[in-house]
Structures are given as structure tokens and as C-alpha cells.
Amino acid sequence: FTFVSLYRDEAIILRTQKLGEADRIITLLTRGNGRVRAVARGVRKTSSRIGARLEPFNHVDVQFYEGKSLDNVSQVETIDPIGGRLAGDYAKWTAGTVMLETAERLTPEEREPTVQHYALLVSGLRSMAASEHEPTLILDAYLLRSLAVAGWSPSFDECARCGEPGPHRAFNIQAGGMMCPACRPPGSAAPSPLTVALLGALLSGDWDTADGSAHRERTEASGLVAAFLQWHLERGLRSLPLVDRTWHSQVQGL
């Protein structure tokens, strides 16, 4: 008789990888156990009852049993089939894919509880699926807040170096945000005041300001957020260029 240690958690599916002929490795961000990688056995067979539930984006309730190297999925119940609600919209799907990849990259330690990251991801994906705001706005708000949770909150109101109250005109990625004239390093960006206001609104959750912004400010803000994110991650996201092309085509089509 072997004692099997079981645990249950709710999670967002981040990624799946094929394993052998019928299995998959599932990467999940859970509420109580942080990022977990687990084997789901037999889910690639057409007879599998849980395979469709273990797709990226889906919000699920999962039972695991602990294994030697990777845990194993034993039961899955769907809480919200978010993947199915995003699948028909390219802009939502690609923006959501960046959110999943970012969540995985910002939770490098497995089984390390990160309730704030989990809550941000769930609320962001639900907002995306419900079309509460334009997809790129939801994505940029998610990225800024996730960076803040990770300890890299950009400063938009005061100088990131000396704390001098703004508004300031220079934005420097390496320095951590807006810079006063005295602290401004060479090569800093000079976003428009409306773009800076939009960035601050996305970080703070001021959706009235964000929703009322123009495409020009949204495009400039997205570029700064992407650069800020990739500076801190130290290497690019595979999914981000797909979203960039979507934004540009939307702007050019107006």
C-alpha cells in the first residue's frame, strides 16, 4: 500500500507540451501553490474526458497527486472556459497569450505562492473575454501591474531617481520611469503628456481616462510598456511581436 499525497487548487492554464504519445505536461498558475508543472496522462487520446479542459487560458479547479519529479493531474473541473471565449478574436487571443507568457516568466520559482500574480491574471483574462476594454489597454494594464507586483513599478508622477514631483517630460527605462531635467540620462524617450497620463491611468486602474485615450497615445504607451517589460525580463517574449503587428494594423486602418 502506497500513500499518495493529494492536493487541490484553482488555476489558470498557462501552457501545454506534448509528452510521449498520449500525455501532456501542463504548466499552471495556481491560487495557493504558485506555478506548478504537472503531467496529465492520456489527455491526447480522443477518449479523454479532461483534455479539452486543460487548454491554455482556461480557469479550472484541479486535483493533483504528488509525483517524484512532476506532480500528476487526477481531476479537473472547469470554472470558466476563457480559452473558448477568446478563440474567435485574434486581438484578444494574442494579447492574452502575452499575459500567459508574462505570468510564467514573472513566477520563476515553482510551488512559490504568488496570490497577487494569480489574481491579476484571472481578472485580466476575464476582462478580456468580457470585452470590458480594448484588448491592448487590458494587456498594458496587466503588464504594468504585474511588473509592480514583481517589484519593478515604474514611476509616472515623480522623478524615478530623486523623487521630484512631476509632471516630467523624459522617460528612461533603465532608471525606472519619468525623469526630471536634472536627472535625465542621455537617450531618454520624450512621450507626450497624454501618453504619460494614460500610463499612469493603466497602472492605477483609472479606466475612464484609459478608455478615453486616443490611438496615438495607446500606441506610444504600448511601445514604452513593451520596452520596460523586456528590459526587466532581460530577454524578449515570443508572443509580443504578434500583438505589435495587430496594434499597428489597427492604427493604420483608421
Residue 40 in this model has a pLDDT that exceeds 80 = yes
Q: Residues 110-161: pLDDT tens digits?
A: 999 999 999 999 999 999 999 999 999 999 999 999 999 999 999 999 999 9
Q: Which one, of 215, 217, 210, 212, lies nearest residue 253 by Cα? A: 215
Q: How far, in Å, CA of 237 to CA of 67, rounded? A: 30
Q: Which one, of 119, 110, 12, lies nearest residue 61 by Cα? A: 12
Residue 61 in this model has a pLDDT that exceeds 70 = yes
Q: How far, in Å, CA of 34 to CA of 5, rounded? A: 18
* Per-residue pLDDT band at 234 (split at 50, 70, 90): confident
- Per-residue model confidence (pLDDT) at position 2: 57
SS3 137: helix
Mean pLDDT calculated for residue range 62-84: 95
Mention every residue, 6+ apart, whose C-beta is less than 8 A from residue 115.
Answer: 31, 32
Q: Which one, of 56, 145, 50, lies nearest residue 92 by Cα? A: 56
- Per-residue model confidence (pLDDT) at position 244: 54
Q: Residues 175-217: pLDDT tens digits?
A: 999 999 999 999 999 999 999 999 999 999 999 999 999 999 9
Q: Residues 93-106: pLDDT tens digits?
A: 999 999 999 999 99
Asked if 68 and 74 count as a contact pair (C-beta separation under 8 A), the reply is no
